[in-house]
Chain A
Amino acid sequence: MYQGRHPVTPDKKKNKVRDEIDANLKRVYSDALNEQVPDKLKDLLEELRRKEQQK
């Protein structure tokens, strides 16, 4: 039977799915945020700054 826009499950489930997606999304991003920034990237900024000061 076609249930269309009136699914058996109420809004509760919709919110649960969305909340889970959002929570996982935040976790993917915060995991990446917590990774150590490689030294070569910090060193690059340092080097650019040093060169700037020599100008």
Chain B
Amino acid sequence: MTAEPDPRDEIAEHLPSLRAFAMSLTRNSAAADDLVQETILKAWSKFDKFQPGTNLRAWLFTIQRNTFYSERRKRKREVPDPDGHFSRNLSEKPAHDARLAFGDFMTAFDSLSPEHREVLVLVGAEGFSYEEAAETMGVAIGTVKSRANRARVRLAELLNLGDGENVLAEVDGATLAVVNRGEASAA
């Protein structure tokens, strides 16, 4: 006699991703561990809300980022404490020709807002579709696209890669207008 497979057993498979995503949000290992722990507890207690057959990772990521942002709102005044990269300075030399130094990239990445790190990691590294990212972040697909573009522009600026527009591939006029408006209103 075999027991029904419990889909909760699959949560363990997503631990490395959950922790990597938590690191992207917090940039601090201790805070990332706490965030994953909180996420596991919440996911477990409301697992009946999970629709079997849908994307469990995206569901867990949604819980995790919502937890992160609500905690962050609670202690808005605390200064973030990334693992050491924060205090490191960017090299003066623009990286036009040389390969981008990874340390410089880490420093720039750390100084992005969590919202920008989040969108870049979801669509640029974790491989979420715009649809999955939109659902995870609880925003429209267009918002995901424009936020990702803004985040790239910001990164390019921080890395002295010149005109941020240089990194805007796949951008049509409409999206670019949204991006520019967004910048103007400091969104």
Binding site for B on A (CB under 8 A): 7, 9, 13-15, 17-18, 20-22, 24-30, 32-35, 37-38, 40-42, 44-45, 48-49, 52
Q: Tell whether, in the assembled complex, residue A45 and residue B12 are in contact, meaning their CB atoms are under 8 Å apart.
A: yes
Alpha-carbon separation in the docked complex, A14 to B105 (Å): 17
Chain B's interface: helix, strand, loop or mixed, by majority?
helix
Separation in Å of the A24 CB from the closest CB of chain B?
Answer: 4
- Chain A residues with CB below 8 A from B6, complex form: 49, 52
Alpha-carbon separation in the docked complex, A17 to B153 (Å): 11
Assess whether B144 is interfacial by the CB under 8 Å rule. no
- Chain A residues with CB below 8 A from B166, complex form: 7, 9, 13-14, 17-18
Known: A7-B163, A7-B166, A29-B24. A44 touches B19 (CB 8 A): no
- Chain B residues with CB below 8 A from A45, complex form: 11-12, 15, 40
Which A residue sits closest to B155, measured CB to CB?
A: A21
Which B residue sits closest to A5, measured CB to CB?
A: B165
Which A residue sits closest to B110, measured CB to CB?
A: A28
Option from A21, A28, A34, A41 in Cβ contact (under 8 Å) with B40: A41
Alpha-carbon separation in the docked complex, A33 to B15 (Å): 9
Option from B11, B17, B41, B105 in Cβ contact (under 8 Å) with A28: B105
> Which interface class (under 10, 10 to 19, 20 to 34, 35 or more) fits B?
35 or more
Known: A17-B161, A28-B125, A45-B12. A37 touches B120 (CB 8 A): no
Separation in Å of the B9 CB from the closest CB of chain A?
Answer: 8
Q: Tell whether, in the assembled complex, residue B15 and residue A41 are in contact, meaning their CB atoms are under 8 Å apart.
A: yes
- Chain B residues with CB below 8 A from A40, complex form: 33, 37
Option from A7, A14, A17, A41 in Cβ contact (under 8 Å) with B33: A41
B39-60 interface mask toward A, CB cutoff 8 Å, 1 = contact, 0 = none? Answer: 0110010000000000000000
Assess whether B63 is interfacial by the CB under 8 Å rule. no
- Chain B residues with CB below 8 A from A28, complex form: 24, 105-106, 109, 121, 125
Known: A29-B125, A35-B19. A21 touches B152 (CB 8 A): yes
- Chain A residues with CB below 8 A from B109, complex form: 24-25, 28
